[in-house]
Structure 1
């Protein structure tokens, strides 16, 4: 959902050592021995996708490569339902990379609203500037050139190349990794961080044909988002339940550390969010005294504000005022 990808990938569960061992065993070679031939997975998943894929704006032809890139930045750690309104407003305001590049980075942060992880907005702005300066304002189709853009990691580069340009790349987000963990390796959850073994497995499962490979990337991602979910998986609706190694082995339970959701209340993230909300809502610089009212604990509040400044999300002025960055 990954530069930006590493710290900002969608949440993934803590994984047991057994899961990592299973991935290494199933994908020890570039062409691992799989319990089910890949073609027996491709057909059912692609047919299911044709019937059940959501009509999302970044999947429409008119979205173009820029629309796909914007969606990939926004969807990292953020549900589709929250992304949709911000995405549409963003593309209406900045329909091309050059439009965003011409605006101040603080305006990107302002428009990001409450999507969370606002450094993504700065990185998307930096990518737009690079696209304008290096690529004539067009999102490059070359995977290597995509990787060279600010804020673009392996996941995002592969996703844009695949979804926007129909290229053959293994696109590994949390949803895809979970589908592959269950269907191919028989474990409930993938390792915490993407492993080399997972990448080998993903390449082994990738259809040879470019067009089919691009559809497979989208289809396996959608299957993980809608059916093979982290909780309450719906095996009755799954097109490959009959081939799923995890289901066929009796759905063994996760045997690693307990999976805990991320807390928010009372954290520095919450304080940062409140400070940014005040700054986003003001077109003028905001006084320190105003920011002091958003959180009672002064040490935590100061730490959060210092962190925003260090991250380039907030710009301090000499007179004790703060604003979103203008350059």
Structure 2
């Protein structure tokens, strides 16, 4: 991806079809289009330079609170609090004595900022370290407390590891969902273009019959196809379908 589009200017000039093909099966293909829109906005508003400011980043398409803060911290080396799922879990256990983090809130940013050491270098390293600690040691299942450098000051450990009492989200399945059907429909266009010998900027069109063959449930397949068209991930002309320009 980076070799093909090393900066916002290059990505901004790419076609949506190119971007979707390069994205492949990374999941949530709308993110690929949002990334292209983000690159276009950076070129138009910031002269092709990624802004190093949280508020400016938040104004870009598809950029949320975590992404904006992660870019400022890890790309520009500025000490702003960064909170992801792993950091939220560490804060919940070490600082609050809770087995799992509650729903995301601004309080976690405040807690992280309070815990961070002063200085850009130290602050950024702290964010990265807590993130890695949550991913590798203070994990959601099977935390390795005997290896944790914060074990002696962990409120959850001191309280005897009380169980989580809140509601748990049901695990999301993939097989048989509209997401799976959408992915199969997109695969026809992506794989078909690769096998067609067409150039990067040439459209590859398929018939409705070819798309109908990928999933047996007519109602679900039609719903998935309609949603891809509504999301701008496919276009239709004369009864045939293609990735967008």
Match of 1:257? Answer: 167
Match of 2:220? Answer: 300
* Alignment of 1:233 onto 2:143: yes
Deviation of the 1:306 alpha carbon: 0.9
Match of 1:47? Answer: none
* Alignment of 1:203 onto 2:113: yes
Match of 1:19? Answer: none
The 8 Å contact of residues 99 and 156 in structure 2, kept in 1 or not, is answered as yes
C-alpha separation in 2, matches of 1:224 and 1:108? 32
Q: 1:103 aligns with which of 9, 14, 33?
A: 14
* Alignment of 1:148 onto 2:59: yes
Match of 1:188? Answer: 99
Q: Number of residue pairs matched?
A: 235
Deviation of the 1:259 alpha carbon: 4.4
Considering Cα pairs closer than 8 Å and 6+ residues apart, tell me whether 1 or 2 has the greater RCO: 1
Deviation of the 1:199 alpha carbon: 2.2
C-alpha separation in 1, matches of 2:220 and 2:108? 39
Local SS of the residue matching 1:322: strand
C-alpha separation in 2, matches of 1:185 and 1:250? 13
C-alpha separation in 2, matches of 1:199 and 1:258? 23
Deviation of the 1:282 alpha carbon: 2.4
Match of 1:275? Answer: 185
Q: 1:322 aligns with which of 232, 241, 244?
A: 241
Deviation of the 1:171 alpha carbon: 0.7
Deviation of the 1:136 alpha carbon: 1.9
Deviation of the 1:246 alpha carbon: 0.9
1:15-94 superposed matches below 5 A? 90-94=1-5
TM-score by length of 2: 0.92
* 1:101-155 CA-partner distances (Å, limit 9, x unpaired): 1111221111111111111111111111111222222211122211111111111
Match of 2:123? Answer: 213
C-alpha separation in 1, matches of 2:148 and 2:94? 11
Please say which of residues 202-211 and 292-301 is displaced more in the overlay: 202-211
* 1:209-257 CA-partner distances (Å, limit 9, x unpaired): 1211111111111111111111111112211111111111111111122
* Alignment of 1:164 onto 2:72: no
Local SS of the residue matching 1:170: coil
* 1:282-302 CA-partner distances (Å, limit 9, x unpaired): 221121111101110000011
Q: Which has the larger radius of gyration?
A: 2
Unaligned runs of 5+ in 1: 1-89
Q: 1:121 aligns with which of 32, 52, 66?
A: 32
Moved over 4 A (4+): none
Deviation of the 1:260 alpha carbon: 2.9
* Alignment of 1:133 onto 2:44: yes
